[in-house]
């Protein structure tokens, strides 16, 4: 009656597969590889690498900031959009659908430029804020689709049962439908989180000193391109792997009522 339905949205599995080979799974191998390489380089070749990592650390924080705030905003926008997309109210439905249609039709980079230069300059918005708004608005649309898919995947009998007990549409959505939809929504949402994290590197094109931009600055001053971008790639890898682990832990916790 309640087997997990997987909604396949876009990219492949960013979340480690469930096949348990002890320590020999892709996630563990990757994280061990990334962290030990970073440590090895810092300890045994401190000359460029320690300098690099210290220079990059500000950028890591900015990347984190942009990612976390954008994820939160995109989730809220996504939830609202998803609810709008399943709403029986025609105007709300049309509004949500149009938003998704427009956003999905414009490349993220163009949206970034647009919000950053066009709106940012016009309204005098802070650089970082403009970047976060652009990421959130874009990913909000994608997440809206994930939410919509998750909500519509719940059997119609669930909302009929809730309605027949006397719950109104809102109570039905928040007490019955969404708590179940999380389970199917979370894997694709996790994929969106990770895609978002990686796409924050695009904000380096703007005047936002994220991880990638700090790398570009450092390498253009020192001409240590290979060393710098090796470090940048490794740091992105570590952050991405940690985020994907977090998502799969959350997923495991949410699936409690099927396993019991």
Partner 1 sequence: MSATSAPSTLPIVDIRHVSKSFGALKALNNVSMSMSLGEKVVIIGPSGSGKSTLLRSINKLETVDSGTIIVDGLDINAPATDINKLRMELGMVFQSFNLFPHKTVLENLTLAPMKLKGMSRAEADEMGLKLLDKVGIMEKAHVYPSKLSGGQQQRVAIARALAMSPKIMLFDEPTRALDPEMIGEVLDVMVTLAREGMTMAVVTHEMGFAREVADRVVFMDHGGIIEEGTPEHFFKSPEHDRTKLFLSQIL
Instruction: Give the residue among 157, 239, 164 at the shortest CA–CA distance from 197.
Output: 239
Q: Does 194 bind partner 1 (CB under 8 A)?
A: no
Give 175's DSSP letter. Answer: I
How far apart, in whole angstroms, are the C-alpha atoms of residue 252 and residue 219? Answer: 41
CB of 137 or CB of 176, closer to partner 1? 176
Q: How far is the CB of 18 from partner 1 (least distance, A)?
A: 19
The one among 38, 131, 135, 176 contacting partner 1 by CB under 8 A: 176
User: Residue 30 has which token pair?
Assistant: 């990757």
d(CA 19, CA 26): 10
Q: Give the chain's end-to-end CA distance (angstroms, integer).
A: 14
110 or 258: CB nearest partner 1: 258
Q: Is 2 in the site for partner 1 (CB under 8 A)?
A: yes
Q: How many residues bind to partner 1 according to rule CB under 8 A? A: 22
Q: Does 179 bind partner 1 (CB under 8 A)?
A: yes
For partner 1, the closer CB: 12 or 256: 256
When asked if residue 11 is in the footprint of partner 1 (CB under 8 A), the reply is no
- Told to check if 19 binds partner 1 by CB under 8 A, we report no
Q: Is 184 in the site for partner 1 (CB under 8 A)?
A: no
Complex with partner 1: residue 225 or 257, whichever CB lies closer: 257
In the chain, which ranges are E strands? none
DSSP code string of 92-153? HHHHHHHHHHHHHTS-HHHHHHIIIIIIHHHHT--HHHHHHHHHHHHHHHHHHHHHHHHHHT
Residues within window 154-173 making contact with partner 1, judged by CB under 8 A: 155, 157-158, 160-168, 171
260 binds partner 1 (CB under 8 A): yes
Q: Is 252 in the site for partner 1 (CB under 8 A)?
A: no
Report the nearest approach of partner 1 to the CB of residue 176 (Å).
6
Contact segment (CB under 8 A) with partner 1 among 110-118, 143-151, 174-182, 242-250 equals 174-182
Query: Residues 201, 210: contact at Cβ < 8 Å?
Result: yes
**Contact pick of 43, 106, 175, 252 for partner 1 (by CB under 8 A):** 175
Q: Which residues bind partner 1 (CB under 8 A)?
A: 1-2, 155, 157-158, 160-168, 171, 175-176, 179-180, 257-258, 260
């Amino acid at each position: 009656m309640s087997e997990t339905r997987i909604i396949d949205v876009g990219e492949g599995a960013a979340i480690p597969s469930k096949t348990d080979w002890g320590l020999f799974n892709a996630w563990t191998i990757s994280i061990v590889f990334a962290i030990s390489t970073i440590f090895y380089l810092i300890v045994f070749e401190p000359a460029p690498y320690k300098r690099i990592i210290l220079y990059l650390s500000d950028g890591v924080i900015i990347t984190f900031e942009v990612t976390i705030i954008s994820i939160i905003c995109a989730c809220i926008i996504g939830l609202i959009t998803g609810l709008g997309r399943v709403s029986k109210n025609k105007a709300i439905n049309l509004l949500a659908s149009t938003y998704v249609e427009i956003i999905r039709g414009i490349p993220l980079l163009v949206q970034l430029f647009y919000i950053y230069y066009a709106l940012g300059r016009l309204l005098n918005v802070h650089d970082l804020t403009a970047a976060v708004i652009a990421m959130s608005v874009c990913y909000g649309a994608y997440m809206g689709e994930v939410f919509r898919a998750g909500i519509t995947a719940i059997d119609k009998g669930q909302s009929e049962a809730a309605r027949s007990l006397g719950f109104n549409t809102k109570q039905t959505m928040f007490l019955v439908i969404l708590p179940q939809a999380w389970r199917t929504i979370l894997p694709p949402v996790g994929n969106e989180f990770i895609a978002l994290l990686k796409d924050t590197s695009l904000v380096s094109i703007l005047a936002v000193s994220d991880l990638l931009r700090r790398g570009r600055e450092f390498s253009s001053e020192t001409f240590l391109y290979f060393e710098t971008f090796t470090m940048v790639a490794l740091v992105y890898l570590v952050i991405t792997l940690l985020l994907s682990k977090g998502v799969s832990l959350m997923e495991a916790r949410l699936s409690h009522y099927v396993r019991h």
